[in-house]
Structure 1
């Protein structure tokens, strides 16, 4: 399972079409994380000002139709991620059939993204 962080509104937009993140246009791929701790590290590094709800799309890599490449980050990984972490990048629009679930990111009392909780 790989994780992609997205505001809920982004995920719900155009439900009948493959999912597109803004990074597909700017970076050429959809950013994902290899596990929950890394997803939380990414959330705290890049989504600190995100409006709730911030979601983690739970993606079954073997069901993803576009190419997925595991790559090192540009520069150091975010605080809390393993120093040798590789990130899965999806090179194309994500087929929604590969998304097997959604989890909502929750902040702790200090405003830090601290856990993922099932969302229904």
Structure 2
């Protein structure tokens, strides 16, 4: 059986409530799980590209998700105009599945800086 590594989701810092115990239901910028039909996730190697493409102007929190603790299905689906499949979660992220929530700092040039926040690529 193929083991799925931890998955990641970028949450807008102003919308992330670390004290909440409710399931997480934001899919992507300005869209909920109910609106999108799934929650956008990334593998570690995909996070920085997603951040550059969609979150460069936002302060974000990197959510690390343990796929063994999610209750909905995860499907890897091809992204339009990309040569990569991204994980999509067809349900909420249970709070128990979020094993880390780390604010992403900015480097001296103002870009989101993921140094030391993601595992080294295999």
TM-score normalised by the chain length of structure 2: 0.76
Does 2:9 align with 1:4? yes
Pairwise CA distance, 1:103: 2.0
Question: CA offsets, 1:89-114, max 9 Å, x none?
Answer: 11111111111011222222222223
Pairwise CA distance, 1:13: 7.4
Return closer, same or farther for 1:15/1:89 CA change in 2, 3 Å cut-off. same
5+ residue gaps in structure 1?
77-83
Matches within 5 A, 1:20-59: 20-21=25-26, 22-35=31-44, 37-50=45-58, 52=59, 54-59=60-65
The count of aligned residue pairs is 108
Pairwise CA distance, 1:23: 4.0
TM superposition outliers: structure 1 runs of 4+ over 3 Å: none
RMSD: 2.0
Pairwise CA distance, 1:14: 7.7
Return closer, same or farther for 1:114/1:58 CA change in 2, 3 Å cut-off. same
Return closer, same or farther for 1:116/1:60 CA change in 2, 3 Å cut-off. farther
